[in-house]
Structures are given as structure tokens and as C-alpha cells.
A and B are shown apart, each in its own frame.
Chain A
Amino acid sequence: MNRRYSRLILAAAFVIAAALGAWQGHRVARLREAEAFYRWMLAAAVDERLFQDTSSEYLDRPLLETCNRLAAGTPQAAGLEDAATTAVITTLARDLKNDRAIWALAQGDTLRPAREEFLKSAREGKLQFARNIGYIEAQEGNVGIFSLFFGFRKVAANWLWIQVDRYWHRGDLYRMVALMKTCVLLDPNFIEAYQIGAWHMAYNATAKMADTPWALREWDERYQACVGEKERYYYFAIDFLKDGIRKNPRNYKLYFDLGFAVYKQKMNDYANAVKYLAEAVRLPHDRWVPRQLYICMELNDQYEEAIRGWEDYQKRFPESELTKEIAPRFIRSNQGKLLEKLWEAALKQAEAARNTPEYPALKAEADRLYQQALEHWKAMGEDGDVRRMRLEALKLREEKRWFEAVALLDKARWDAPDQWEEFSSLIIQIKQEGGIPLSLSERKAIERKKDEGHCAGMPESAARKST
């Protein structure tokens, strides 16, 4: 009798353990749902803040708006400025430090309706950024990639990557691009695949192509830009990196590559370079990231921000060789350019008020700033020579001493090849103003410039903007 009861007790214990296991499994499943929701919120917030892709028919944006609305009254929103309380998740996602707050919201009851809506929409495949979140993929059904490789999809992605490498050496570019996309589909956290893939597209694929002449470019509605074959690859690289950023919003490398390798190095789009490098700096990063940001700020005429950045860098790494040698040079260079900018603005203001009683005072202020800038470049010695020559040439231009101005700029551009384009354009302008005949290459440059910013199929609004 005793034995029978013991067996019953044992069976009951097993049932209790199984029930506890099922209960804990239920808890884990809820946590994984919250995790998927959390990762989606980060991705959607990044997209909302940085890319603002309104072209898709997915439901990510309206759902993020719902999340922002629901989160408005929560304690997590308490510390935010008034303007940010309507976009709590988007604002919180700006800073890595707020990840725990977003996670708390993702798990909590306040966002429960949004979480349920997220799970429903994700299972129906209506959310763009919920893809490639393992749990959601598994829930979405069909022959999910999640289960296709029985949990070893990352290994499959690695083997595919080796094949990509082979295609690259064979010059099989078109096959390579398709396979790269499969790689990141299998392993959305394959950061190196995004980085190297974008590098292949922006650099290697275009290495032997000449820039497409503007007359041969076509308007691309998707990119809102005039593109030829070469330029299209730059945009492919941008798309690829943006895709990587949405799936890995907390990895600085992708922001850095997008800002530095593509926008700065390839497209000379310094405004976007600053935008993405500033994002990279918000996350745990290597030391060269802020340096590139400050350099791009300088190229984007943001001299004051660049100076503040370099000074901050000096404070953070006082022992670094770069702090001792390079940072002061950059600071002085930015200070000089800032003075130039102030002088140019003051001069423009004075010219606008030429026939008014304020003119003498405004002109005197402009002259004072000019002297200040000139002295600054002189004090820099050899490092400031090129900018000093530019400044002196501009003064000569003002005095209508055209030949001297051109001669000075011609010398300056040979001393500073990185500023060749800027000085050459200035020479052309001065020659045109002074009625000096242009060389053949200068006439060609003018012809090229005429087409710049315009292409076939370009809508009028874009053409007006470009002009």
C-alpha cells in the first residue's frame, strides 16, 4: 500500500516538475517576446531618427508612434525635455545608457497593447525591422531560415562568406553581391560582412570606373539623386550599411563605415559624414572615431564644434602623442578658418550696407577680422602658409589686382594638393572677374560644372533645389 502511495507521490512530483517547467518555459517565451519587441523598438527608433525611410508600406512607423504615445506618461519619460515627451522611445534610443529603461518599457504593462500588436504584425510579416530577430522569424512560419540550419545558421553564413571571398578574387561581382545579402540574411549580426560588403561595393567594384559624367546620369527616385553606374554602387553600399545599422543599432563600426568610408571618402558628403560619425561617437568606440568626426566637422565648416571636440579629446587623452602633436595643429587650423568665415560674413554685411552710414564701421570690423585671420595664419608658420596665401589673394582680388591674386593662388594650390579644387575654382572666378583669358582646362572645367547637379529625368523641384 505504502509503495503504491509512494509511486503516486512520485508521479505527482513529476507532474508538478513538468508544470513548473512549462510555466518557466512560458516565462522565457514572454521574455523572448519582450526581447524581440525591445530589439525592434531600437531598430525602428534608429530608422525614425536617422534614415526616415517613408517609402515602405510596412507598419513600423505607426507602431513606433503608438509606442511613443503609450510611453509618454511613464517614469522613463520623466527626465526628458518637454519636446521629447511625444517621442519617448525615439529619444531614449539616442543614448546607450537608456537601454535598460527601454528594456523595462518593453517588458512592462504600459506598452502591452503595442507589444501585442507588434507580435501580431510581426507574425503576419507586416513589420520591416522585425525580420531577422530570431524569435520572430521562428514564429513567422514557413520554412523559416531560423530553423533551416537547425540553429547553425551562423556557421552556414560563414561558409557562404568564404564563397563570397572566392567570387571576389574571380571578379564575379554580381554573384558576390547576391551572396553577401544571403550571408547577412542568415546571420544579421555578421558585422564584418556588412563592413566588407560595403567596402567591396563602394571601393573595389568602382575602382576601375570613371565618375559618370552628369549628362549621362539618370535620376533615381529611390535615392533622390542623379546616379550613373559607379554612383549606384555607392548607394548600394549605403543601403547595405543602413540595413546593418537597423539590425545592429548598438555597433559603432557600421555608423563609422557609413560616415567615414562612404560619405566622407567616396561621396565628399561631409554633412552626412558628420551625422553618422556623431552617432558612432555616442556608442563605445575606438579612439580614431572622434578624430575623424572632428576632421569631418572641419570639412563641413563646423569649426567651432571641431575646436570643442579637439579640446575635449585633449582632456580625455592627455598622454596621447596625437594630443600633443596633432590636436593643437587641428585646433589652430580650425581657429584660423573660423576667423576667415567671420571675416567673409562681415565683409558680405559691409558690402550689403555700402551706401549707408553704417558702412565705415562694418568695413572697419571686417578689416579687423581680416587682420586677425592673417596674423593667425602667419603665427602658424609653414603650416599656415597656404591659407595665408589664399587670404592675401582674396585681399588682392578686393583691390582688383587680378594677376597677383591668380599668381598667389597658383603657388598655393601646388603647395596644398588637398585644396587643389578649391583654389582652382577661385582662380577661375578671379580670372573671369578680371577678364583674364581662361586656359583650355579651365574652360573644360566650366563646361563640366554647367551640367553638375542635373541629369535626365530629374524632377523640377529637385533641379531647382540643386541650382
Chain B
Amino acid sequence: MNQLVGVFRGPWAIAVYTYREGIRKRTLIGFLILSLLVIFGSSFISAFLDPTSRTDIELKLIKDICVATISIFGALITVFTSASVVPNEVENKVIYSILSKPIRRWQYLLGKFLGAQLIILVNLALMGILFFAALYIRQGVMPTLLLWALLLTYFEFLILSAFTFAISTAATSPVLPTIGGLFVYITGNLTEYLKDVQNRAGQTGKWLDDLLGQIAGILYDVLPNLQNFSLRNQIVNGMPNDPPTDVLIPNLMAYGLIWAVGGFLLAWLIFWRKEL
């Protein structure tokens, strides 16, 4: 047991140090402040509406704007954090002094990955708390369904983070992984199009058409589909105790976790023999 604790002590120290360093970054603070402003500002959205009609419409506007804000800014924070934690250290040459210590590469990677997750979680929690407060003030009851929506959002970010992190291990500067991360986010949300390509293939009867359809089908089955996590919109505005939602949430969490492990293993594989 002590040996196991010893193995993870190093990564944890790196994670804490990564978190402390990352949380001070101006870009992230900028994104966070912007998102908090939008979430705060969503409470005043009713200024655009007819003050005489007393409905729940303001509440819905707040919910939708906040969920979208958390998704957009959260994804940006995730990409920028995951893309920079390793390349920055390569650029600054700090990595050499760390790897010269009795720590293995996978431990270093795990520490960095956990540190990035801490940063993402703290940012998500800050945005979530403000969203939670905005809803609580407006409707007077605890919006507990929101916690599930935030949890799903995090698992979406976990996949995004893992693959951006994997790209970053191959890079020496954060620019390429940032672009790569944004690409992962966009394509991950458009995976459903592949199914459409597969459904439409074969209409011309040409072999290339069939082949394209088959490739699209395989890619659809293999690539992570971030659009699955759009369930969070359903949760925030939906009814409690919805049977399909209750089953889908744990399955999506497992989905996020498996792909995150996959992404981390890919990062490890790339970093294994990287020339430093």
C-alpha cells in the first residue's frame, strides 16, 4: 500500500504544482472572467422582454445562455489548458530538471494531466456556482438537475482534454495542440454527419461511393461523439425522473472515462520515446 502511495505521490505533487501555475495564466483568467460576465449578465436578459408578461421565459433564457456559455468557455479553457501544460515546460526547459529527478515519464504525464483536470474542474465549478446562484435567486428552489448537467459537461471536457493532451505531447509549443484541440472539439460535435454520409452512400452504385459510405460508417463507430453530451440541455430544461435520462447519464460518464483513458494512453505512447 505504501509503495502504491509512493508511486502516486510524485504525480500528485506535479498535479498541484501544474494547477498552481495554470490557474495564474492570464488567458484562462480572461476566459473565466468573460464567462462569468455572460452568466451574470444572463440574469438581466429580461430587459429585452415585455415586462408585463409574467412567465418562466426568463428562467429558460438564463438556463440556455448559461449552459451555452459554460460549454463554449469551458471548452476553450479545456483546450488551452490541456494544450499548454506539457509544451510550455518543454519551451521553458523546466521539463529537463523535472525528468532528471527520480520520476518516470508516465508519472510526470499523469501529474500534468491531473493538474489540467484540476484547473478545468475549478473553472467549471466557479461557472457552475454562479449559474446555480442565478437560478436559485430566480426560482427559489435548488436546481439539483443542474449538477447532472455540469457533470456531463465535465465528462465531455475530459475527452476533449485527453486528446488535446495527447497532441500536446508531440508538440514543442502550445500553438499546434490548441488548433488540434479545437479541431477535436468541432469534429467531435459533427460526428453525426458521418452517419448521414453512410446512410446516403451507395446511391450512385459506384464502388467509390460504397467505399466512402463504409469508411464513414467505421469512423462513426470508432470516433468519440461529443454530441452525445448534448443531453445536458435536455436535463436542464427537462422533467425530473425521465427514464431514458436516468439510464443515459451513467453510460455517458463511462463513455467519457473510457475515452479519457484512451487519450491518456495515446499521450503516454507518444511521450514514451520522445527526444528531449
Contact = CB atoms under 8 A, between A and B. Distances in A.
B27 interface: no
Given A152-B68, A155-B65, A10 B272 contact: yes
Interface string A114-153: 0000000001000000000010001111001011001110
A99 B273 CA distance: 54
A140 to B, nearest CB: 8
A18 B262 contact: yes
A149 to B, nearest CB: 10
Interface stretch (B12-20, B113-121, B173-181, B249-257): B249-257
Contacts of B262: 14, 17-18, 20-21
A76 to B, nearest CB: 13
A11 B248 contact: no
A348 interface: no
A240 to B, nearest CB: 16
Interface in B244-274: 244, 247-248, 251-252, 254-255, 258-259, 261-262, 265-266, 268-269, 272-273
Contact of A154 (B64, B254, B259, B272): B64
A337 to B, nearest CB: 35
Among B50, B64, B72, B228: residue with most chain A CB under 10 A: B64
B88 interface: no
Interface residues of A, number: 61
A151 B258 CA distance: 23
Contacts of A35: 244, 248
A7 B273 contact: yes
A139 B199 contact: yes
B247 A31 contact: yes
Contacts of A187: 64
Nearest to A166: B48
Contacts of A123: 199
B56 A141 contact: no
Given A100-B243, A155-B65, A158-B60, A26 B221 contact: yes
A139 B49 contact: no
B93 interface: no
Interface stretch (B95-103, B128-136, B190-198, B207-215): B190-198
Interface of chain A, helix or strand or loop or mixed? helix
A138 B272 contact: no
B240 to A, nearest CB: 9
B258 A24 contact: yes
B252 A139 contact: no
B227 interface: yes
Contacts of A134: 230, 234
Contact of A24 (B230, B238, B254, B273): B254
B224 interface: yes
A13 interface: yes
Contact of A25 (B200, B255, B269): B255
Interface stretch (A189-197, A218-226, A353-361): A189-197
Nearest to B237: A189
A164 to B, nearest CB: 10
A195 B56 CA distance: 10
B200 A141 contact: yes
Size bin of chain B's contact surface: 35 or more
A168 B254 contact: no
A28 interface: yes
A95 to B, nearest CB: 14
B48 A162 contact: yes
Interface in B73-125: none
A202 interface: no
B55 A196 contact: yes
A38 interface: yes
B194 to A, nearest CB: 11
Interface in A1-41: 6-7, 10-11, 13-14, 17-18, 20-22, 24-29, 31-32, 34-35, 38-39
Given A14-B266, A21-B224, A35-B248, A99 B255 contact: no
B234 A189 contact: yes
B65 A192 contact: no
Contacts of B71: 151-152
B195 A138 contact: yes
Contacts of B49: 162, 165
B266 to A, nearest CB: 5
A310 interface: no
B233 A22 contact: no
Interface string B30-64: 00000000000000000011100101110011001
B243 A27 contact: no
Interface centre among B50, B61, B71, B273 (most CB of A within 10 A): B61
B55 A138 contact: no
B195 to A, nearest CB: 6
Contacts of A265: none
A147 B224 contact: no
B221 A22 contact: yes
Contacts of A14: 262, 265-266, 269
Contact of A7 (B72, B233, B252, B272): B272
B189 interface: yes
A99 B243 contact: yes
B65 A158 contact: yes
B156 to A, nearest CB: 10
Nearest to B273: A7
Given A134-B230, A139-B192, A24 B255 contact: yes
Pairs A-B, 4 closest by C-beta atoms: A17-B262, A103-B243, A35-B244, A138-B192
Given A22-B222, A152-B72, 6 more contacts: A17-B265, A28-B252, A99-B243, A141-B200, A155-B68, A192-B60
8 contacts: A27-B251, A141-B199, A147-B227, A154-B68, A154-B233, A169-B50, A192-B57, A250-B239
Interface of B: 48-50, 53, 55-57, 60-61, 64-65, 67-68, 71-72, 189-190, 192-193, 195-196, 199-200, 221-222, 224-225, 227-228, 230, 233-234, 237-239, 242-244, 247-248, 251-252, 254-255, 258-259, 261-262, 265-266, 268-269, 272-273
Interface of A: 6-7, 10-11, 13-14, 17-18, 20-22, 24-29, 31-32, 34-35, 38-39, 99-100, 102-103, 106-107, 123, 134, 138-141, 144, 146-147, 150-152, 154-155, 157-158, 161-162, 165, 168-169, 187, 189-193, 195-196, 250-251, 284
